[in-house]
Chain A
Amino acid sequence: AQSVSQHNHHVILSEAASLELGCNYSYGGTVNLFWYVQYPGQHLQLLLKYFSGDPLVKGIKGFEAEFIKSKFSFNLRKPSVQWSDTAEYFCAVGSGAGSYQLTFGKGTKLSVIP
């Protein structure tokens, strides 16, 4: 069975600081990787996804993530955060072609201080 670990439970940054949220997964086969964002009181929205090809994936709102297969990692980055990035961020993994299920990490809460 696959699992996802997000190392940081709560990250607090000042505006303009750089962000990196860690995500590691455990699964031996082909994986599809995702980052979702949940703004306060709202539903989850897809930030970016990786299936194959270039391991550096660019998403919406200036976010990017890098898939490092040897480290089973898919860390999320943003060079300069804004107050509006305050949200909960979830990493998720799907086990490749034909997979139905996404397994989510426990989430990282990001608080950006103006």
Chain B
Amino acid sequence: DTAVSQTPKYLVTQMGNDKSIKCEQNLGHDTMYWYKQDSKKFLKIMFSYNNKELIINETVPNRFSPKSPDKAHLNLHINSLELGDSAVYFCASSQRGTGNHGYTFGSGTRLTVV
């Protein structure tokens, strides 16, 4: 069973479109994250949810909107896509508990905006 699964794996779309990426984890973790990895492999956190509550909201354009219907799901919706949004987006989850025990990552969604 895949622990953290993202769909789709690849997404090619035109500028100006709206798209969503879905993420689900079956680990029972209480915290989920979205990271963006650019062409230079730099990982930057975008959002984090703990038990459906937004706890980290880094400086990203408000065209990006996360939604967490329950603690096992964290989706990312992007409006009015731009060329600069092209990147690999990773979902991750962790159990906060008494310490940060590290993340389990999804396999990534490679978004290409043309």
Contacts and interface: CB of A to CB of B under 8 A. Distances in A.
Contacts of A90: 43
What DSSP secondary structure best describes chain B's contact surface? loop
A52 to B, nearest CB: 9
A101 interface: yes
B99 A46 contact: no
Contacts, number: 68
A39 B54 CA distance: 31
B99 A102 contact: no
Given A100-B31, A107-B41, A109-B41, A34 B102 contact: yes
A43 interface: yes
What DSSP secondary structure best describes chain A's contact surface? strand
Interface residues of A, number: 28
A77 interface: no
Interface in A15-58: 32, 34, 36, 38, 42-46, 49, 51
Contacts of A107: 41-43
Contacts of B108: 43
Contact of B48 (A46, A100, A106): A100
Contacts of B42: 104, 106-107
Given A44-B105, A100-B50, A94 B40 contact: no
A97 interface: yes
